Structure 1
Amino acid sequence: MISDGFGTSSETLARDFIRSENGIENSWVSVLDGLLVGSTRTSSNSSFVTDSAAAATAFSCGVKSFNGAVGITTDSKPCGTVLEAAKAKGYKTGLITTARITHATPAAFAAHVVNRNMEELVALQEIGNNTIQNKVDLLFGGGKCLFLPSTDAGSCRTDDIDVWGIARSNGYTQISSKAEFDSLNVNTTKLPLMGLFASEHMSYEIDRSADQEPSLSEMVYKGLNVLNSNSQNGPGFFVMIEGARIDMAAHDNDPATHLHEIVAYWETVTAVHKFIDMHPDTAMVATSDHETGGLTLGIDPDYAWYPRALAPVKRSAASICSDMKHVPVQNRVEFVSGIVFPYLMGINDASQEEILSIVRASSMDSQICRRFIGQAVSARAHIGWTTGGHTGGDVGLYAYGAGTSDLRGSYENVQISDYMSKYLGVDMGPVSKLLANEVVRQPNFPYHQRVDDL
């Protein structure tokens, strides 16, 4: 399990909020707190401050690579991943995320590209259209647009390759709606299975419509049981689970959205915990790729922070800024002062400067708009942010289940891969040799990065 962009201050934020809202005593801990066994060091080969691609590559391949690298070594050679090695040994495999399924973290377990934004090539590699057939048995997440040919109205590909159709030809059962997801019978559903429930990333938990998209915990509950029912005649299964949007909310310095993502991740950890209690031959390792935002609980001059300020927020900064694009410019001051601040953010003392700053930002860069909204909530909660990017601090390491008693202390991110491969009894070396001729560069790739995707 990978909680993207989640540091120890984020855990404290969510814990303090739950305690404050429910009048719980100081000794209360979250399900994650109860599984804490140590910490993970997060640097990449190219920087003390990693990105998700290099961090996930450290977890998957057991090698430190450069920022932006997906499943490759520092000399841009494919490295076999723990998922691929598990597949080669007969395990069923899965990827579950709230991001695009082709995003950096899931990609690093099943793809090999020199730039994390080569997601069109990642989509092909994840379904095993090249060296390893049907590489990932179960894929749950977002990013359907990257599987559709450019001729399709819902596509975000630049070519006419129909990856969705190729996957279907390769035997994948495919679903795209919550109704189809709900109808899956965990005891009779056969693999391979692909469920992509959003064109891009899945919705933030604070914005999610329960009848439109499954939650992370719902995907994990169903995913674990489908994988388990399909692996009765083999050694078992390996699955990577990502709470992806914890990170994206932190990039926006949006504390309430960040909070809701953390609580959703806690619910997912609870689901995994219960599964392990029923299947005690299973192990869970949970950590983060890095911290995002430089979150600080308390700002000058007071020794205080106020969780209650996060409670009335109804929408993510991202969705608010998106909606503002559809409000006529001449009406935006009224919209921000009459709707956004009092109703969507629960703020009744907004200054004229705060209102005008958000209105001006709404006509500029979307990320600036999101951060202005996030900072308005943060100021009232006395939450500080040092950056809109990543930081280099250690992150928590959590474990539960069979064989995890030895995981205690401070670990390099590559050592997490060592533990998983030993636990599963797999060797990534032969897979690396098998992948020697894997194509790692997407043809005609436009080199760019979307800042909110880092």
Structure 2
Amino acid sequence: MLVETANRIAHLNEKKKKKNSLDEDSFFPSAISEHHLSWAASSSTYYRSPAHSLADTWPLIYANPKTSPTTTCFLKMAYIRLPTDDYVDDESLIQKEVQAVFQKPKKKPMWKALLCLIGYLVFVSLTATLYWFLSEKDEKQNVIFMVTDGMGPASLSLARSFKQYRDNLGIDDVLALDTLLIGSSRTRSNDSLVTDSAAGATAFSCALKTYNGAIGVDSDKNPCGTILEALKLNGWLTGLVVTTRITDATPAAFSAHADYRFQEDLIAQHQLGEYPLGRMVDLMIGGGRCHFLPRSESGGCRNDNRNLILEAQDKGWSYAGDREAFDELQEGKNVTLPLLSLLAPTDIPYDLDRDPKEHPSLAEQVRVALTALSKATRKSKKGFFLLIEGSRIDHAGHHNDPAAQVREVLAYDEAMKEVMKFVNNTSTKTTVISTSDHETGGLSTARQITESYPDYLWYPEVLLNSSHSGEYLVKKVMSKLAELSHDRTLLQSFIAKEIIEKDMGIKDYTEEEVSAVEELSKNANKLLGFLNNMISVRSQTGWSTSGHSAVDVNIYAFSNSEKITQKLLQKEPYTGLLGNHENIEIGAFMSEITGADLARVTKLIRDTKHSPKSVHELEASSDDLHMHAVQKAH
């Protein structure tokens, strides 16, 4: 039918040309761009040819010598409605069809035109936004989330001033972290103005408020889906790097679900895949062999007889349990995933006490993780999620130990430099967010030590002279008690010369202080407090508590993606992280930029075992278990 009509139009044009009564181009306008022709041809609703497909019909028309180019273009553009009856040589009928197509529309009022223009612009804007929204989440990316457990703003001031003094630097020399500051976070939990690490970490992992002590569960003790789990289910690789036990609150809140943080035996099982989702973690580096081994084995503290390390190896995990095995990983180039690396019975020693021959630094652990995960995802369309925690900043705050804390903050800053170097050298879109779950110790970089008006001073050199943490010194004193308890003179000499002068770097000590150390050596906690206070008083470092505080904590962030950077620097709640925000907004932001569906994961894990087995387990003391492990290890 379409071919016949083309012939008819060509025939009529020939007749008109002979009569010079109608120019072909006036009958069939030719000022039509090829772009409009192709667009019209693809979108027209007038084409009706039950006998021919489009592909079949157009070659016939092009091949017809009677069909002029203008006529062909016209038919291609308009697909005018063709009569479906037999051939009718009716010029008026065809001309009516043609004129109907090319008849100029009536002019619309200007306000209607403006409305159309505005509508068009809105449509284009929404379409572009939707395209960005979908394409950004589908694009390969990495997210590195870093936590300075227990570090408040004063900790940064303390560490910065200490470093400037130690290295003889100018006042304009700052930490790597200082260059990334974009905001601050409010830290309260669901049941207290002062949060703990468990509720704080769950705010990040599940993007919701919960009670103190909760590990990956909401305020009603229902398991909540975490960002790590959601991304793993989306095809990402995942990792945890910490300096405390891998089963401690922060790493646990991303990789396990438990009503109480001390359920570390259960947390270890979840981390290895013993729950409804199976294995969700590809790499774990930290301390904490304790909860992977039975009490019957050295360094073990599990309440059952299971050896989770052997079980993990049987399931395909590679294992590195000491410095030698860690070095064999070749900075991540020789890693077979999944990797479990437990480098200490409990917590890895403070950086101030750490023997490099025995334990790697946090920066070394981070380098292994980044290299291994980036290598494993190199050919993948998905990236990786990595949690990094400077865990023991918090412990130094609990111990009111300024000498240990400044070294922990600086060790974390070195780890941040490793991350920054990685991001600057990768072509994969990568976002880094660093914050604290809370502040610990109520630290201040000044202290009034007399009743008179205080001096505006504090002394970083006192911290520099201290070569070990209070924790280390307590163990050293107590290990000598049995040997020297029969001779008080020898014991006091050891305390004065070895502990106070050599290890603590204090020369102006008193006999009363030596006697107090001797007396308190029978009580580890009291001795710890006394030794650390000797340092704090002399450096004029202030503490208000051995627990947590409600101080707002800093948010640091950057990305090698311009679009993500623009989002990071939005102020509005739940859109960016510039300025002051609730801690749950950080978790929500990570979910937003990655497309992680936390609600979906929550439905999948509703049957997860997360409650204590018994009242006995509920009342069990995690500290007792850890002390048992430490005593067996030493």
Q: TM-score range by the shorter chain?
A: over 0.9
Percent identity of equivalent pairs: 39
2:462 pairs, out of 286, 301, 309, with: 309
CA distance in 2, matches of 1:152, 1:341: 36
1:234 deviates by 3.7
* Pairwise CA distance, 1:449: 4.5
CA contact 2:328–2:334 (8 Å) conserved in 1: no
What residue is the counterpart of 1:326 in the other structure? Answer: 479
- Are residues 1:148 and 2:320 paired? no
2:411 counterpart residue number: 264
- Paired residue type of 2:554: G
Which of 400-409 and 376-385 deviates more? 400-409
Tell me, yes or no, if structure 1 residue 239 matches structure 2 residue 386: yes
Deviation at residue 188 of structure 1 after TM alignment: 4.6
Q: Counterpart in 1 of 2:20?
A: none
Secondary structure at 1:358 match in 2: helix
Contact 2:215/2:261 (8 A) holds in 1: yes
Cα displacement (A) at 1:334: 2.1
1:150–1:161 Cα contact (<8 Å) kept: no
TM-score calculated relative to the size of structure 1? 0.97
Aligned to 1:273: 420
1:342 to 501, 523, 527: 501
Amino acid at match of 1:429: A
CA contact (8 A) 2:182 2:556 kept: yes
1:206 Cα shift? 0.8
Task: Read off the aligned partner of 1:325 and give its amino acid letter.
Answer: M
Deviation at 1:447, TM superposition (A): 1.9
Counting only pairs closer than 5 Å after superposition, residues 81-92 of structure 1 correspond to structure 2 as 81-92=226-237
**Preserved contact between residue 35 and residue 399 of structure 1 (Cα < 8 Å):** yes
Q: How many angstroms apart in 1 are the aligned matches of 2:247 and 2:592?
A: 27
Instruction: Please tell me whether residue 193 in structure 1 is matched to residue 339 in structure 2.
Output: yes
Q: Deviation at 1:181?
A: 1.1
Tell me the residue number matched to 1:408: 578
User: Equivalents in 2 of 1:126, 1:234: separation in Å?
Assistant: 25
Aligned residues: 452
Quick check: which one's helix share is greater?
2
Post-superposition CA distance 1:227-274 (Å, at most 9, x none): 111122141000110000011011111110111111100000000000
Decide which moves more: 33-42 or 349-358.
Answer: 349-358
Cα distance in structure 2, aligned partners of 1:146 and 1:442: 15
Q: Does 1:355 align with 2:514?
A: yes
Following superposition, the deviation at residue 18 of structure 1 comes to 1.1
Offset, 1:187: 3.7
TM-score (structure 2 length as normaliser): 0.70
Counterpart amino acid of 2:496?
A: S
Q: Which amino acid aligns with 1:197?
A: L
Paired letter, 1:380: R
- Residue 215 (1) aligns with residue 361 (2): yes
Distance 1:11 1:175 in 2: 33
Structure 1 position 112 matched with structure 2 position 257: yes
Q: Which whole-Å CA distance do the structure 2 matches of 1:248 and 1:103 have between them? A: 12
Name the CA distance, whole Å, in 2 between partners of 1:450 and 1:371: 21
Residue 448 of structure 1: CA displacement?
Answer: 4.2
Q: CA deviation at 1:450?
A: 5.3
Q: Residues 612 and 618 of structure 2 are in contact (CA less than 8 Å); yes or no, is this contact kept in structure 1?
A: no
8 Å CA contact 1:134, 1:192 repeated in 2 = no
Q: CA deviation at 1:7?
A: 0.6
Q: State which of 290, 294, 297 in structure 1 corresponds to 2:442.
A: 294
Match of 1:387 among 535, 545, 548: 545
Could you tell which deviates more after superposition, 352-361 or 284-293? 352-361
Report the counterpart of residue 527 of structure 2 in structure 1.
Answer: 369
The answer (yes or no) to whether the contact 1:54–1:69 under 8 Å persists in 2 is yes
User: Residue 595 of structure 2: which of 402, 415, 425 is its match?
Assistant: 425
For residue 380 of structure 1, report the CA deviation from its aligned partner. 0.9
Alignment counterpart, residue 282 of structure 1, candidates 425, 430, 445:
430
CA contact (8 A) 1:294 1:391 kept: yes
Mapping 1:32-43, distance limit 5 Å: 32-43=177-188
Q: Secondary structure at the match of 2:565?
A: coil
RMSD: 1.5
Q: Distance in 2 between matches of 1:239 and 1:156?
A: 28
| 1:64-98 residue CA offsets vs partner (Å, 9 max, x unmatched) | 10000000000000000000001110100001000
The one-letter code of the counterpart of 1:221 is: R
Aligned residue runs from structure 1 range 170-209, under 5 A: 170-185=315-330, 186-209=332-355
Partner SS state of residue 38, structure 1: strand
Are 1:30 and 2:202 an aligned pair? no
Within 2, Cα distance between the matches of 1:448 and 1:8?
34
CA distance in 1, matches of 2:381, 2:224: 25
- How big is the shift at 1:446? 4.7
Report if the CA contact (8 A) 2:458-2:541 is conserved.
yes
2:93 equivalent in structure 1: none
3-state SS of 1:404 partner? helix
Name the SS for the 1:282 alignment partner.
strand
Look up the equivalent residue of 1:195 and give its one-letter code.
S
- After TM superposition, the structure 1 stretch with the greater mean CA deviation from structure 2, 123-132 or 177-186, is 177-186
**1:61 aligned partner:** 206
| Structure 1 residues not aligned, in runs of 5+ | none
SS of residue matched to 2:505 = coil
Contact 1:134 1:170 in 2 (8 A): no
